[in-house]
Amino acid sequence: MIQEKSTYYVDMTNETVMPEPLESPSFVIYATRQEVDVLKRLFEKNHDVDTESYIRAHIPTFEYFDDPVNKKYDKSMRMIYAVIYALGDTAAKKHIQDMGILSSNPSVNPTDI
């Protein structure tokens, strides 16, 4: 059974996916409910990693540029942007391409990530 895709709005600042347009700048994606759930779980995991990096930031003896937690956070953000790229409208894809956060060959299927 093929699920129908609906329009959703992704707010990166608040890490939310909403069915209505947002006041803040957002990405427009076309996704099934299952794809939205995947994106929401990625946001939850990213929040956990962000908390780890916050704690690590308060230990001045650790170098931030070679920290495994920071690399984990970067990977988490790339995964989120890859999913948004795969599901996004043309403007979302262009914005993410312009950011240069993904490799030159971003996934077109979130399940490939």
Q: Which residue range(s) make up the domain with 81?
A: 34-112
Distance CA 97, CA 65 (A): 24
Predicted confidence band at 47 (pLDDT cuts at 50, 70, 90)?
confident
pLDDT above 70: residue 86: yes
66, part of any domain = yes
Residue 81 lies in a domain: yes
Give a yes or no: residue 80 inside a domain.
Answer: yes
- In-domain check, residue 3: no
pLDDT of 8 reads 97
Give a yes or no: residue 17 inside a domain: no
In-domain check, residue 98: yes
Phi-psi category of residue 15: left, alpha or beta, with phi > 0 → left and psi -120 to 50 → alpha = left
Per-residue pLDDT for 2 more than 80? no
Give yes or no for residue 110 having a pLDDT over 50.
Answer: no
Instruction: Give the model's confidence band at 73: pLDDT under 50 very low, under 70 low, under 90 confident, else very high.
Output: confident
Mean pLDDT of 5-34: 92
Q: Is residue 8 part of a domain?
A: no
Distance CA 107, CA 110 (A): 7
The reply to whether 96 falls in a domain is yes
What are the Cα distances from residue 86, in Å, to 6, 35, 51, 59, 95? 14, 10, 27, 37, 13
Q: Residue 9 — very low, low, confident or very high, per pLDDT cuts 50/70/90?
A: very high
What is the reported pLDDT for 64?
A: 55
Number of domains composing the chain: 1
Choose between 44 and 88: higher pLDDT: 88
pLDDT-derived band at 111 (thresholds 50, 70, 90) equals: very low
